[in-house]
């Protein structure tokens, strides 16, 4: 920066004030746009009338009960939890091992491998979903078994979401680890496996917990990748909500949405206790 | 160590690379009303998509929405990111989490909120009618503007978090030095913060542009049946049209256009500011 070219102009008070105002307005509108729909959907879930009108006559909690008694939402919720849990249980160990190798190992082509493992986040989900759909139909022909709309097929697709999130978060937390503790243990005679089990893994625990929670949420909330892979008997919650919303928006749906907002918020606040999210994202 | 990375590579190869190659191969096949798909090796699906005025319009809409959203998101996101990056109190961690939560709440949930806000019986229309300014509902939902605002709500957290991490790495002393030498706030921004934050700005814009190009739920729910963007068009070909080869070609056109513009934008910005 060439200092000399900065004109030392006396800052006019009015324009400085206007500048601050514009800045504040931009910050406020950014957060207003982000939070308006979330606040709205939470509010509507308490409205008493089934047809949403403003202002509401009275407030109620009955839509939460109603939401759970709707088969599509209840089953969609259970399916989404099953898929997200299974995908997390499979994807986190696989992704953690890969992150260890990529950060600590001496591998040829690290950059390429890293790009490959993060690729599922870069390829548009609707494109990846279409590709998986075609692949599943082909595989069903070859193997003569159902894959699309099975739990196995959906879990496999969602592992594709949990692996890149895990690689990203565990790599970030590995990069921040001081190797001195591991070297000290090794110097004191600990074998590589002992060093890993007693030193590396405990130090990595926050990163792995964050990876697991992120993976679960990312898979649970995913719509586009699963869109073509669900079927009449087995639908995820976001897909069930989308089909419902194409006909109407009412407090029952708002209750389902609010439950999700509460779940995601709780999981993220827990994650933040393990790892400072401001450092890993 | 190679054995550690192998399972993950195999999963991604089997479930992403393989299927994408299959999709690319299918895009060269031919559609037949009786057999669904006939083996072929022709670029005709790509040519048909490019020649069709309807799909040219869909692509035009997609590009317009994505570019507009990226620009507006940068304009609103930069100040918010700056504010977040320069926070020093214990609120910083909370604001970060509060920015992250909407990012992880699904797009469908947010679209539902917008429907309650801007729908014909939504809060804004109820408010307008209560003041007596308008007699009937003003059409806000099922407009391109609704899709742009709805998409911004989805991508703003990505932009804010990406920019904040870069701005944080710019030493505050540089800004203070410029200000002490008499530079007004806008000059400090233009000559110090903006150039130093540029790599992050490019990264944030690329990420947001990719997400905007592939908007699905927001386009379907806030754009309405008449409004078509590329991602819903791809989905329709596979789910309703059953014309898989054409759907595959559309998917690759969407992927190619996104990639080409991303590379072009990065190169242009990179050259302009590489000094």
Query: Concatenated DSSP letters for chain A?
Result: --GGGS--PPPPHHHHHHHHHHHHHHHHHHHHHHHHHHHHHHHHTTBSSSS--SS-S-B-SHHHHHHHHSHHHHHHHHHHHHHHHHHHHHHHHHHHHHHHHHHHS--TTHHHHHHHHHHHHHS-HHHHHHHHHHHHHHHHHHHTS--TTSHHHHHHHHHHHHHHHHHHHHHHHHHTS-THHHHHHHHTT--HHHHIIIIIHHHHHHHHHHHHHHHHHHHHH--TTTTTT-BTTB--HHHHHHHHHTT---HHHHHHHHHHHHHHHHHHHHHHHHS-HHHH-
- Per-residue pLDDT, B129: 87
Give the one of A38, A55, A128 whose C-beta lies nearest to B102's C-beta: A38
Distance CA(A152)–CA(A149), nearest Å, equals: 8
Q: Which of B78, B100, B112 sits opposite A41 (nearest CB)?
A: B112
Pick the range with the lowest mean pLDDT from A8-17, A56-65, B24-33, B226-235.
A8-17
Q: What is the pLDDT of residue A1?
A: 46
Which of the four pLDDT bands, split at 50, 70 and 90, describes residue B197? very high
Higher pLDDT, B271 or A85: A85
Note whether B216 contacts A126, CB cutoff 8 Å.
yes
Q: What is chain A's alpha carbon radius of gyration, rounded to the nearest angstrom? A: 24
Task: Report CB contact under 8 Å: B217, A23.
Answer: no
Q: Give the minimum alpha-carbon distance from A188 to chain B in angstroms, rounded to a whole number.
A: 23
Confidence of residue B94 (pLDDT cuts 50, 70, 90): confident
**CA gap A128, B17 in Å, rounded:** 9
Note the pLDDT of residue A89: 98
- As a whole number, mean pLDDT of residues B22-26 equals 96
Contacts of B149 in chain A (CB under 8 A): 33
What is the predicted pLDDT for the residue at A280? 59
CB pairs under 8 A between A and B: 297
The pLDDT tens digits of the residues spanning A97-135 come to 999 999 988 888 889 999 999 999 889 999 999 999 999
pLDDT at B121: 85
Residue B271: pLDDT band with limits 50, 70, 90: low
Q: Say whether A6 and B181 touch across the interface (CB within 8 A).
A: yes
Residue B273 has pLDDT above 90, yes or no: no
**pLDDT at B133 (0 to 100):** 84
CA–CA separation, A147 vs A261, rounded Å?
31
Distances (CA, A) of B211 to A32, A123, A163, A176, B161: 20, 10, 19, 29, 15
Chain B environment of A19 (Cβ under 8 Å): 185-186
Does the pLDDT at position A278 exceed 80?
Answer: no
Q: Output B161 or A52, whichever has higher pLDDT.
A: B161
User: At residue A234, what are phi and psi to the nearest 5 degrees?
Assistant: -140, 105
Task: Find which of B106, B146, B158 to mutate to test the A interface (most A CBs within 10 Å of its CB).
Answer: B106
Distance of CA A28 to the CA centre of its chain: 25
CB nearest to A124's CB, from B123, B191, B214: B214
Find the range with the poorest average confidence among A39-43, A44-48, B135-139. Answer: B135-139
Topology at the third CATH level for domain B45-273: MetI-like fold (1.10.3720)
- Pick from B26, B123, B177: which is nearest to A54 by CB? B123
Per-residue confidence band for A156, with pLDDT thresholds at 50, 70 and 90: very high
Q: What is the residue-averaged pLDDT of chain A?
A: 89
The pLDDT of residue B270 is above 80: no
Residue among A130, A135, A276 whose CB faces B234 most closely: A130
- Superfamily the domain A64-280 falls into: MetI-like (1.10.3720.10)
Distance CA(A192)–CA(A234), nearest Å, equals 45
CB-based contact A40 B114, cutoff 8 Å: yes
Determine, for residues B1 and A133 on separate chains, whether the beta-carbon distance falls below 8 Å. no
pLDDT at B137 over 50: yes
Q: DSSP E strands: which ranges in chain B?
A: 30-32, 36-38
ipTM of the complex, rounded to two decimals: 0.91
Taking alpha carbons only, the member of A195, A184, A237 closest to residue A67 is A237
- Record: contact B105-A3, CB cut-off 8 A: no
- Helix, strand, coil % (nearest 5) of chain B? 75, 0, 20
Quote the pLDDT of residue B275. 45
Measured distance CA(B138)–CA(B147) in Å, rounded: 16
* DSSP notation for A142-210: HHTS--TTSHHHHHHHHHHHHHHHHHHHHHHHHHTS-THHHHHHHHTT--HHHHIIIIIHHHHHHHHHH
Does B142 contact A at CB distance below 8 Å? no
Is a pLDDT exceeding 50 seen at residue B234?
yes
Interchain CB contact of B239 with A (< 8 Å): yes
Any chain A CB within 8 A of the CB of B9?
Answer: yes
What is the tens place of the pLDDT at every residue in A207-240? Answer: 899 899 999 999 999 999 999 999 888 999 999 9
Let me know how long chain B is. 275
In chain A, where the domains are located: 14-44, 64-280
Shortest alpha-carbon distance between residue B14 and chain A (Å): 10
Domains of chain B: which residue ranges?
A: 45-273
B8: chain A residues, CB-CB within 8 Å: 94-95, 97-98, 117, 163, 167
Chain A closest CA to B40's CA: distance in Å?
17
3-state DSSP assignment of residue B224 = coil
- At A174-193, the pLDDT tens digits run 887 888 888 899 899 889 88
Q: Taking CB atoms and an 8 Å cutoff, what residues of chain A touch B16?
A: 119-120, 123, 128, 131, 160
Question: Considering chain B, what is the average pLDDT of its residues?
Answer: 91
- Identify which of A183, A159, A158, A40 has the alpha carbon closest to the alpha carbon of residue A98: A159
Closest residue by Cα to residue B106 from B150, B41, B168: B150
The rounded distance, in Å, linking the Cα atoms of B271 and B192 is 18
Nearest chain A residue to B193, by CA: A1
């Amino acid at each position: 920066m060439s200092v000399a070219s900065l004109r030392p102009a006396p800052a006019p008070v009015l324009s400085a004030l206007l500048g601050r105002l514009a800045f504040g307005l931009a910050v406020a509108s950014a957060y207003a746009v982000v939070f308006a729909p979330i606040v709205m959907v939470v509010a509507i879930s308490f409205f008493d009338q089934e047809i949403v009108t403003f202002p509401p006559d009275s407030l109620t909690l009955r839509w939460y009960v109603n939401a759970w008694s709707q088969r599509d939402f209840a089953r969609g919720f259970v399916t989404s939890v099953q898929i997200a849990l299974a995908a997390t249980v499979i994807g986190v160990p696989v992704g953690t091992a890969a992150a260890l190798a990529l950060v600590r190992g001496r591998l040829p082509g690290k950059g390429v491998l890293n790009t490959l493992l993060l690729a599922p986040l870069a390829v548009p989900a609707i494109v990846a979903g279409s590709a998986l759909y075609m692949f599943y139909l082909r595989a069903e022909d070859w193997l003569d078994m159902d894959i699309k709309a099975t739990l196995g097929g959906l879990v496999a697709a969602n592992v594709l979401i949990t692996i890149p999130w895990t690689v990203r978060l565990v790599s970030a937390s590995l990069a921040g680890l001081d190797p001195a503790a591991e070297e000290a243990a090794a110097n004191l005679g600990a074998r590589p496996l002992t060093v890993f089990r007693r030193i590396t893994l405990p130090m990595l625990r926050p990163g792995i917990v964050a990876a697991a929670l992120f993976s679960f949420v990312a898979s649970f909330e995913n719509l586009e990748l699963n869109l073509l892979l669900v079927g009449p008997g087995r639908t995820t919650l976001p897909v069930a909500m989308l089909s419902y919303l194409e006909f109407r928006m009412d407090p029952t749906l708002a209750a389902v949405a609010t439950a999700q907002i509460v779940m995601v918020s709780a999981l993220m606040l827990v994650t933040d206790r393990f790892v400072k999210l401001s450092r890993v994202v | 160590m190679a054995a550690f990375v192998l399972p993950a590579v195999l999963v991604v190869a089997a479930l992403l690379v393989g299927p994408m190659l299959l999709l690319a191969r299918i895009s060269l096949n031919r559609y037949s009303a009786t057999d669904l798909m006939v083996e072929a090796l022709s670029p005709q699906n790509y040519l048909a998509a490019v020649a069709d005025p309807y799909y040219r319009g869909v692509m035009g809409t997609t590009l317009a929405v994505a570019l507009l959203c990226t620009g507006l998101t940068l304009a609103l996101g930069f100040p918010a990111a700056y504010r977040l990056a320069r926070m020093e109190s214990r609120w910083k961690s909370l604001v970060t989490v509060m920015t992250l939560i909407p990012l992880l709440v699904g797009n469908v949930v947010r679209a539902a909120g917008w429907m309650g806000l801007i729908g014909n019986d939504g809060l804004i229309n109820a408010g307008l009618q209560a003041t007596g300014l308008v007699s009937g509902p003003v059409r806000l939902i099922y407009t391109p503007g609704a899709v742009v605002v709805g998409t911004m709500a989805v991508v703003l957290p990505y932009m804010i978090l990406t920019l904040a991490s870069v701005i944080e790495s710019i030493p505050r002393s540089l800004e203070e030095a410029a200000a002490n030498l008499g530079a007004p706030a806008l000059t400090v921004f233009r000559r110090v913060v903006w150039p130093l934050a540029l790599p992050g700005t490019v990264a944030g814009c690329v990420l947001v542009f990719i997400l905007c190009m592939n908007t699905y739920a927001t386009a379907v729910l806030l754009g309405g049946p008449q409004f078509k963007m590329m991602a819903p068009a791809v989905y329709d070909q596979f789910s309703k049209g059953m014309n898989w080869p054409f759907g595959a070609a559309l998917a690759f056109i969407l992927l190619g256009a996104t990639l080409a513009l991303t590379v072009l934008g990065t190169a242009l910005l990179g050259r302009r500011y590489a000094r």
